[in-house]
Structure 1
Amino acid sequence: MNSTLQAILSAAASFVVISLIFAGIYLICRATTKRRPHPLPQRRTRARRSAPDLLTSTSFISIAESQLFDPSLNKIEMADLVNATRNFSPDLIVGDGSFGLVYKASLSTGVTVAVKKLSADAFQGYREFQAEMETLGKIRHDNIVKFFGYCATGLDRILIYEFIEKGSLDQWLYDTSSTHNDTSALRLPLTWKTRINIIKGVANGLAFMHNLEKPIIHRDIKASNVLLDMEFKAHIADFGLARSLEGSHCSTQVAGTMGYMPPEYVHGATMATAMGDVYSFGILMFEIVTSRRPSWPIKIESKEEIRLVEWGKRMISENQEMKMLDASIPKEELKEREVLKYFKIATLCTNEVPKLRKSMKEVVKLLDQIQDETTI
């Protein structure tokens, strides 16, 4: 057999062997497919089906979430809350928080509490719940609303606080038709002294938070998040946006309410800071003595519309501080020297440059000097 014929026969044999190998692989794959058809779609279907089953379980709480629960915090059973709120009766709603409704309730112990039932929206509700557990659930201060406990059952996330009798500062500044719980009685205007004491209370609460070993920033200081008790003492509330600081910055998105947000947040800052709280506090200082909403434009003589902080600084530059005050403040207790000191502090807090603002610890000291004869 010549070499040419041998080469042809060898090539033909190789072709046959390779063909048999591919045929065998094809048959094996086909048999496997018949035994287990469409594995990927089935796997996706099981994943979609299992998630709702877990979330609707009355005992489900994720491992990651449960790690946030301080063992010292009081866990309150859903059955107790259903009884206390008459099955979350609309008649007991006393407020609408940033992410849920707030109910007034009386626990079986006789204690009256505020019960915030967070929105069922998974992202917002869980984020607020975690924020409250990480911050408010672990701190105590006379000017910060007390956290009594929580309930976590299925999709429900509920937070329980002390009940603050006179409602929010926002109500007292703008809704003078009635007291918080008695619609038949007129609400008297806040005096100058009362307003100063309220703003001092907020300053003390913020200074405490900012000077913790692991500082906390609130990120949403505003009139509706300041609650007043029977003595008109201020209690900072609604910590749903609060975050703990790492170093001097909070590695989270900026947040807040328009009108109170500092310019650096509006202009694209990516990290929230304690100085952001200071700015919002300065806006609150302007608001509480002028009774003008920060988000509402003010029309000046030139017919131009400007924000509260811009209007305030313009009036100060023209030595018109006394004309800025809420007309309902009783005039007999007003002292121009105190008013000038007050607005100077508000201006320091709302400096456009964050590093030039005073810290809350410094602000507390300055507010304590308002009624002193010394100048600021």
Structure 2
Amino acid sequence: MDDLVFALLAVGGSSLAVAIPCLLVAFLCLRSSNNLKPSTHHRCCSSEPTLPISTSTPESSSWSFYATDMDTSLEKLSLADLTAATGGFSPNNIIGDGSFGFVYRAVLPSGAAVAVKRLSGDGAIGAGNREFRAELEVLGNLSHPNLTRLLGYCAAGHDRILVYELMERGSLDTWLHGDAEGGGEKLDWPARLRVARGAAAALEFLHHGRRLPVLHRDVKSSNVLLGEGFEAKLADFGLARIVKESPAKSHVSTQAAGTAGYVAPEIWLGVGATAKADVYSFGVLVMEIVTGHRPSWPVKAKIGEEEVDMVDWAREKIATDKASEILDQRIGIGEQAKEMDEAKGLLEIAWQCTDSAHKNRPTMEEVVAMLNKI
């Protein structure tokens, strides 16, 4: 009997030895869990990618520019300083308009002149914010002599603002179709040829010079800016898209994007944008450079004739060896001059680029090679 009692006491003691530590661990875990619960209400569970925007207040003053051509770290700029630099975003300082907002001439506290694009104030849900994100994603990682240089940005409240280098001679559109600043100067032939080469070099770099190609999707004369020496720089990347595969095969979107007159025919059919759509727009741009006609305006070849599409009109003239008849008369090229051969050669490239079948168009690498032979 004594042995049985002793055995029962031994088993009970062992059970308590195991149970007490377990109860202690459970109590500590429960207490720890209760202490952690309040913090879980402040955790962000969104997987949406965010822009590299600093958390400084709009009133802070922090100007940031590329230290070198390859330095692409951009910091948030001060809304207060940008407001002062543009005269309170005065209409008197507007020098252009982009896809989703106005562009202002501004003078920084340092005295440097820049171009400031203020996108439409729809905040994080608007089209202006989508352009803001696209320009930062694309231009924030690019450096090329024929691309507009992004200097900085501001994101404060509903404001989305981008700051660029100022191109003193304005847009190609202004020189071809409007009064250029400085009084009535005309764009001569050497300058027009240089602009075409610069725009081609920019697109070749975007399509072929990067690990991940970029489609611009809005190539037009108002998006080609001119420097003091008439060097051309492609601007406005609000519709641009980075593609993950070959630019000739990747359809980044089936939604039509671009400007009437420049858009490739397959875009209107919902095929989707590829590099060949940019090539088509470049071909239209070249026709505009040589003829002086806006692509969005119909052309009346002769008095009394019906108006026709500018691209169809130019293509028919080029195909029938009548390219000399469509040259902008302001250029003043003689029939037998060397410049006439260059103009015809440029129009021949444009004719290939604007083929209605995208598979028949050259790549921008091939376009640049052809331009180098002119």
| TM-score scaled by length of structure 1 | 0.77
Deviations along 1:2-26, whole A, 9 cap, x unmatched?
xxxxxxxxxxxxxxxxxxxxxxxxx
- What are the within-5 Å matches in structure 2 for residues 24-103 of structure 1? 64=48, 66-67=50-51, 72-103=73-104
How far apart are the structure 2 equivalents of 1:250 and 1:241? Answer: 14
Q: Which runs of at least 4 in structure 1 moved beyond 4 Å after TM superposition?
A: 68-71
How far apart are the structure 2 equivalents of 1:213 and 1:69? Answer: 25
How far apart are the structure 1 equivalents of 2:206 and 2:252? Answer: 17
Candidates 223, 236, 239, aligned match of 1:238: 236
Q: 2:28 corresponds to which residue?
A: none
How far apart are the structure 2 equivalents of 1:317 and 1:156? Answer: 50
Candidates 130, 134, 150, aligned match of 1:131: 134
Q: Which runs of 5+ in 1 are unaligned?
A: 1-61, 371-376
1:147 lines up with 2:162 in the alignment: no
- What are the within-5 Å matches in structure 2 for residues 62-211 of structure 1? 64=48, 66-67=50-51, 72-121=73-122, 122-176=125-179, 179-180=180-181, 185-211=182-208
1:369 lines up with 2:368 in the alignment: no
How far apart are the structure 1 equivalents of 2:51 and 2:101? Answer: 23
State, as a whole percentage, how many aligned pairs show the same letter.
46
Q: 2:256 corresponds to which residue?
A: 254
| TM-score scaled by length of structure 2 | 0.77
Q: Structure 1's 343 and 153: CA in aligned 2 closer, same or farther, altered over 3 A?
A: same
Question: How big is the shift at 1:357?
Answer: 0.7
Q: Which runs of 5+ in 2 are unaligned?
A: 1-45, 55-71
Q: Structure 1's 280 and 77: CA in aligned 2 closer, same or farther, altered over 3 A?
A: same
Check whether the contact 1:68–1:130 (CA below 8 A) recurs between aligned residues: no
Check whether the contact 1:149–1:160 (CA below 8 A) recurs between aligned residues: yes
Deviations along 1:36-77, whole A, 9 cap, x unmatched?
xxxxxxxxxxxxxxxxxxxxxxxxxx9846345598113211
Question: How big is the shift at 1:293?
Answer: 0.8
Q: 1:31 corresponds to which residue?
A: none
1:350 lines up with 2:354 in the alignment: yes
Question: How big is the shift at 1:304?
Answer: 2.8
Q: Structure 1's 104 and 335: CA in aligned 2 closer, same or farther, altered over 3 A?
A: closer
SS in 2 for 1:135: helix
Counterpart of 2:81, as a letter, is D
Q: Structure 1's 349 and 170: CA in aligned 2 closer, same or farther, altered over 3 A?
A: same
Counterpart of 1:188, as a letter, is E
Counterpart of 2:366, as a letter, is E
- What are the within-5 Å matches in structure 2 for residues 235-314 of structure 1? 235-248=233-246, 249-252=250-253, 253-269=255-271, 271-301=272-302, 303-314=305-316
Check whether the contact 2:96–2:103 (CA below 8 A) recurs between aligned residues: yes
Counterpart of 1:237, as a letter, is A
Counterpart of 1:217, as a letter, is L
1:325 lines up with 2:342 in the alignment: no
Counterpart of 1:218, as a letter, is H
Check whether the contact 1:349–1:357 (CA below 8 A) recurs between aligned residues: yes
- What are the within-5 Å matches in structure 2 for residues 2-21 of structure 1? none
How far apart are the structure 2 equivalents of 1:175 and 1:168? Answer: 10
1:219 lines up with 2:247 in the alignment: no
SS in 2 for 1:283: helix
Q: 2:39 corresponds to which residue?
A: none
How far apart are the structure 1 equivalents of 2:354 and 2:49? Answer: 37
Deviations along 1:108-136, whole A, 9 cap, x unmatched?
12221101110013421111001101101
How far apart are the structure 1 equivalents of 2:119 and 2:318? Answer: 42
